[in-house]
Structure 1
Amino acid sequence: MEIREHFGVYGFCFRDNQRLCIEKNAGPYKGRFDLPGGSQQVGEGLTDTLVREVLEETGYTIASYQHPRVYDAFVKEKGKSFMVHHIMIFYNFTIDHRVAQKTLPFLVADGENDANAVRWLKLEELSFENSSPLVLKLKKEWLGETSLDKDIYRNWEVHETD
């Protein structure tokens, strides 16, 4: 089976016992909660990507970031003939509250945004049925169950949205 690699930088923000998530409107995590983040642009450093993607997908400006870590997952979408090796770098971040949040959709350089909405969710609201592998990996971390071992999703279902 062909394996394609995807590398991305993602942010995690926690406040008032809730986690910052976006609602995806495209890709294999469509219709699920995900973390703000994504692929690097040419010449961009990891934290440059984090700052840009968080702003594009949430409207929030990052005040600080820390605690980088790397995880990975293999995701094979149902009906696809290939598997994606998703390599993820996570940073914790805090929001600069002096900067007001914009209204979705945010304007991005390429005119595209794969986030429909920003949501603050409690841990118990996040599940296999409604979350991306990124959120599921961090949920394990939050519960103290995480390991550096890869996660494998062999029959991943993309949710259809209106």
Structure 2
Amino acid sequence: MERSHLKSPIEDSRRLWTFKTLCIHTEYSSSFWCQGHSIQLDHVVLVTVEFDDREIFQWSKVTTSINNLILEKLYCDHCGTMRIQGNHNYSCKLKFKEQSIIDQNPHQLLWKRSKPPQFPTRYNLPRFAITMNELTLGLKEKLSPIDLRLRPDQRYLDIDCYNFLSLATA
């Protein structure tokens, strides 16, 4: 049985989250198919993330297969169902589908990038990337004091407002 307890690399005295894993059981198996040699890892592992506001999320890992060990194109597959359970009535069920030669629809588009902006920014960031730095309601209190999203000069750089940038750094 293995237990580990890690803290966030950027931690301050007011904010803390912990990451724990509990390895209950691991099984390894190997097989030889016409495609090449493969190793399958079946492990029962409980992963827990606990935040300072006592919100806890737990999940277990899915089966991992390392395929084509003998042939040229080595690849990993993850298959099975992962259930993520929160202590505040949040839950999620993710189904990992194994790659198959006979699958009718092996690839499913989950996300498509938006068209580039008419007037690109200096760093050519799409709108989605810029919104990743926006402070949402309640996020400011959870961030470390040295988080870049709290710096106004960084925000002005993101949106190409160089006139305000000199005022923010002065």
Instruction: Tell me which structure has the larger Cα radius of gyration.
Output: 2
TM-score w.r.t. structure 1 length? 0.22
TM-score w.r.t. structure 2 length? 0.21
Bigger RCO of structures 1 and 2 (CA < 8 A, at least 6 apart):
1
